[in-house]
Amino acid sequence: MINLPESFLRMPRWWTEGAEWLQDLPAAVERQCERWSLSVVGAVSHGSNAVVVPVARAGEEFVLRMSPPGAEVSDQVWALRWWAGRGMAYLYDADVEVGAMLLERLSTPLTSRPIDEAVAVLGQLMRRLAVPAPDDARSTADIVTTRTAELEPQWERLGRPFDVAILREALAIAPTETTSTLAVNGDFHAGQVLAGQREAWLMVDPVLFRGDIEYDLGRVLWWDLDRMDDIVRYFDLAVREAGLDRDRARDWVIWRTVDYWLYGLGVGLTEDPVRCARLISALSR
């Protein structure tokens, strides 16, 4: 039976939920390995709410990913099956009811590479994933329309935490309309990318939207901002590698950063709001 890393057990998510699932997790991994005829062949790694177990079957290597069952698992399985290995880890099997996925084994994380390379790879992956999306994927325009109506009331509730001019700019340029029907990964950053064999770099844990592929460019930047000595240069690098319209991309970064800035303050984050302020300052006109 696997041993869960202490760092996983201390994740904030388990402070308020999931204790029963967590207690049963080693046995659940064992049951899933029996069901899919897998052998554990390495140490357990993890993210914030899932464990990843290196496994093998008949000489082939995979990883078994286990997370609490629910809509998030269903959505990821749908996205992985739809992209079907294009720029994504390949999904071999899934049991949504127990939160289990059998995935392609990947290796070196993109976060281990120099920041110039990481941003270039992310730009290329953004374009690689941009194929016609399924009609029932949620539209980025709908997401923006709904969230934009919430921004000013939240800014007021939080005590007007930044200059009103920043809020006004985000409201003015909010990309509430789009003609794009391309696929968009709505959880896009260097921490979701690992080296593969079929393709040089592959993403994990996708969220499938339809619309403007610039949607998560802001996250690409704020997620790795501490490694960027010139924010505008890295913005331009991502824009160039993804083949984006620079003005449209800038509008998306401003809007998404204000969106996340307010979200972060609302849930008590302390470091990311500072990064958001720096990013807005660098790209504001």
So which residues are the catalytic ones?
187
Name every residue whose Cβ is closer than 8 Å to that of residue 129 and which is 6 or more positions away in sequence.
83, 86, 87, 88, 183, 184, 185, 203, 213
Gap between the Cα atoms of 198 and 239, Å rounded: 25
Q: Could you give the CA distance from residue 33 to residue 237 in angstroms, rounded to a whole number?
A: 43
Give the tokens for residue 126: 């953004």
What is the rounded distance in angstroms from the CA atom of residue 233 to the CA atom of residue 163?
25
């800014």: which residue's tokens? 155
Contact (Cβ atoms closer than 8 angstroms) between residue 255 and residue 144: yes
Q: What tokens appear for 180 in the block?
A: 């794009």
Classify the C-alpha dihedral 37-43-44-45 as positive or negative: negative
Residue with tokens 């913005």: 235
3-state secondary structure of 244: coil
Backbone angles phi, psi at 242, to 5 degrees: -90, -10
Helix (H/G/I), strand (E/B), else coil: 100:
strand
